Amino acid sequence: MRIHVVDHPLVAHKLTTLRDKRTDSPTFRRLADELVTLLAYEATRDVRTEQVDIETPVTATTGVRLSHPRPMVVPILRAGLGMLDGMVRLLPTAEVGFMGMVRNEETYEAHTYATRMPDDLSGRQVYVVDPMLATGGTLVAAIRELIKRGADDVTAICLLAAPEGVEVMERELAGTPVTVVTAAVDEHLNADRYIVPGLGDAGDRMYGTAG
């Protein structure tokens, strides 16, 4: 597994405002959307392309376009939805799947309650988006499902990561073609499995606590 921490002043600036507990939900959603686009720019450096011949107003030339099958973006519900627009803004031709996952608050294990994506992902590059890589359980379960369906190149895009979650992913997904792209790896998880210093519950801060 490869982890890439995006070191850029704009990333650090937006992340600082996301961390601030005074940032309201509309501002949080907007900044998360902007930050995801910056992370996606780095995450798609190795997106697969193919050559194409075109005519400019001046002459014939050769360019590139995204190859087939198109990449797939998979947000993990619900907080991952807040990252979707930022991804498809950069990859408008990508297909979108969904995974609904919930964490048992006693065991911290992740369980899948809904999926909406092709059964066969053979040859696909998949970008799975989830704001927080905390314990690692949710992303490990999601990526295992994607690999089981044939995905051969998976990139996880997270706003924040904890070292404990990174360690779990490295151990549980050893030998799997996975990259993690994040704005920061924070200090640790607290007793409630929240990232410290973190930014709180990303889903609640995006959408409120209804439900």
Nearest to 46 by CA among 92, 2, 83: 2
44 a known binding residue? no
What pLDDT does residue 51 have?
95
* Average pLDDT of the chain, as a whole number: 90
Length of the chain, in residues: 211
Nearest to 18 by CA among 3, 5, 30: 30
Please state whether 199 falls in left (phi above 0), alpha (psi between -120 and 50) or beta. alpha
Is residue 153 annotated as part of the catalytic site, yes or no? Answer: no
- Higher pLDDT: 145 or 82? It is 145
150 band by pLDDT with thresholds 50, 70 and 90: very high
Prediction pTM value: 0.89
10 a known binding residue? no
211 band by pLDDT with thresholds 50, 70 and 90: very low
71 a known binding residue? no
The arithmetic mean of pLDDT across residues 38-60, rounded, is 94
Which residue in the list 103, 144, 149, 193 is annotated as catalytic? 103
Question: Where do the DSSP E strands lie in the chain?
Answer: 2-5, 49-55, 60-66, 72-77, 95-96, 98-103, 110-116, 125-129, 132-133, 153-158, 160-161, 178-182, 188-189, 195-196
What is the spatial distance between Cα 177 and Cα 124, in angstroms, rounded to a whole number?
12
Is residue 189 pLDDT above 80, yes or no? yes
- No. of helices (H) and no. of strands (E), the chain: 6, 14
Give the CB-side neighbour count of residue 19, counting CA atoms within 13 A. 16
Nearest to 189 by CA among 127, 135, 125: 135
Alpha-carbon distances, residue 200 vs 13, 69, 147 (angstroms): 17, 37, 30
Is residue 155 pLDDT above 50, yes or no? yes
Is residue 153 pLDDT above 50, yes or no? yes
Q: Please report the domains of the chain, with CATH numbers, ordered by start residue.
A: 1-47+65-205 (3.40.50.2020)
What pLDDT does residue 210 have?
47
202 a known binding residue? yes
Is residue 120 annotated as part of the catalytic site, yes or no? Answer: no
Phi then psi for residue 179, to 5 deg, are -125, 140
Contact 50/65 with Cβ under 8 angstroms? yes
80 a known binding residue? no
Is residue 209 pLDDT above 80, yes or no? no
136 a known binding residue? yes
56 a known binding residue? no
Distance of CA 73 to the CA centre of its chain: 8
Is residue 145 pLDDT above 80, yes or no? yes
High-pLDDT (> 70) share of the chain, %: 94
What pLDDT does residue 105 have?
64
Is residue 24 annotated as part of the catalytic site, yes or no? Answer: no
Which residue in the list 56, 62, 93, 107 is annotated as catalytic? 107
117 a known binding residue? no
Angle between helices 9-19 and 25-43 (to 10 degrees): 150
DSSP 67: P
142 band by pLDDT with thresholds 50, 70 and 90: very high
Nearest to 156 by CA among 128, 131, 135: 128
Question: Where do the DSSP E strands lie in 43-92?
Answer: 49-55, 60-66, 72-77
Is residue 54 pLDDT above 70, yes or no? yes
Is residue 7 annotated as part of the catalytic site, yes or no? Answer: no
What pLDDT does residue 108 have?
59
Start-to-end CA distance of the chain, whole Å, equals: 35
As given in the structure block, the two tokens for residue 143 are 């990526």
